[in-house]
């Protein structure tokens, strides 16, 4: 990694899971250029995974409340290919390292004796994970806008609903439609339509947080999946997006507007299909109401 990557988008992120994080471990990893997030206790790691998006997780085997093996199993189920390393005070025998590998870990390292080995192994795994992430991002990216494509959006939507089911964290789905895109194409040409589409994409990116997912679903339809958002914050975000688009003229076109349908889990729906349907129905009402507006889905009817 090197110290030149100590800041910025390419910095390796390491989640250190330990009841008593040792400053020497954190200092050594940070010296190598990593951003380290220490976590006190094993179960907290599952919650922090989403917010920190680590490239590598380092787990101290001496955890209270949950065993390192159980945490390793949960990490394997909860995350999409994030490598983790087990560390501990016991000697790194061949048997112990084999057990670590069978649990899903990439290694077991004796600490503090092999601190330099921990740093080297972490650097290796960070580079590997970053390469995998880049390849996956290319496969999941819309060719015109650089936003997530429909496949990536479906994965993100499933992850957010699973997060709500496991931890009770709400999320919101904004479906966005460019008003009168066909008229723009007919009047100014398809190149102007592409400029308009990229204009909407830029607004989505500008108003998205790191944990949100902005996607182009096809044609003039976009989605913004908001992590940890309730109805009030989702409506506010939708209004900011609508205003930002309407207030900035598009080259070759002029003023462009969007219609937005908003649905929130669990207020409006509690499954991926139902949340999408609720947001889509709200979008239809926004377009029927004259466009350039935000419509919130009605509360779900309890069965």
Active site residues: 220
Residues 206 and 237: beta-carbon distance below 8 Å:
no
Burial class (CB in 10 A: 0-12, 13-18, 19+), 202: middle
Q: In the chain, at which residue ranges do the beta strands (DSSP E only) sit?
A: 13-18, 35-40, 56-60, 84-88, 108-110, 171-178, 213-218, 221-227, 258-265, 294-296
Half-sphere exposure of 273 (CA within 13 A, CB side): 0
* C-alpha gyration radius of the chain: 23
As a dihedral over the C-alpha atoms of residue 16, residue 22, residue 23, residue 25, rounded to 10 degrees, the angle is -60
Residues 122, 111, 32: CA angle, nearest 5 degrees: 35
Please provide residue 60's backbone torsions phi and psi, each rounded to the nearest 5 degrees: -75, 130
Q: Is the backbone of residue 262 left (phi > 0), alpha (psi -120 to 50) or beta?
A: beta
Q: Is 11 helix (H, G, I), strand (E, B) or coil?
A: coil
CA separation for the pair 17, 26 (Å, rounded): 11
- Using DSSP's 3-state secondary structure scheme, residue 68 falls into helix
């Amino acid at each position: 990694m090197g110290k030149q990557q100590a800041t910025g988008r390419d910095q390796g992120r390491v989640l250190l899971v330990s009841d008593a994080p040792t400053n020497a471990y954190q200092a050594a990893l940070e010296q190598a250029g990593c951003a380290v997030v220490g976590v006190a206790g094993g179960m907290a790691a599952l919650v922090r995974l989403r917010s920190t998006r680590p490239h590598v997780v380092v787990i101290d085997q001496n955890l209270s409340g949950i065993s390192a093996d159980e945490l390793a199993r949960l990490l394997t189920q909860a995350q999409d290919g994030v490598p983790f390393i087990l560390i501990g005070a016991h000697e790194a025998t061949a048997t112990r390292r084999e057990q670590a590998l069978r649990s899903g870990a990439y290694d077991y390292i004796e600490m503090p004796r092999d601190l330099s080995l921990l740093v080297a192994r972490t650097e290796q795994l960070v580079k590997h994970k970053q390469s995998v992430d880049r390849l996956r991002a290319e496969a999941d990216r819309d060719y015109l806008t650089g936003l997530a494509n429909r496949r990536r959006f479906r994965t993100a939507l499933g992850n957010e609903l699973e997060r709500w089911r496991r931890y009770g964290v709400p999320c919101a789905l904004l479906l966005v439609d460019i008003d009168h895109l066909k008229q723009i194409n007919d009047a100014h040409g398809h190149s102007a339509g592409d400029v308009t589409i990229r204009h909407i994409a830029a607004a989505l990116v500008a108003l998205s947080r790191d944990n949100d997912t902005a996607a182009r679903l096809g044609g003039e339809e976009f989605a913004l999946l908001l992590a940890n958002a309730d109805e009030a914050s989702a409506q506010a975000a939708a209004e900011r997006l609508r205003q930002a688009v309407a207030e900035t003229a598009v080259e070759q076109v002029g003023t462009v507007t969007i219609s937005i349908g908003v649905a929130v889990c669990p207020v409006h729906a509690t499954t991926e299909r139902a949340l999408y349907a609720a947001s889509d129905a709200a979008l239809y009402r926004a377009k029927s109401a004259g466009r350039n507006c935000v419509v919130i889905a009605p509360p779900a009817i309890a069965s």
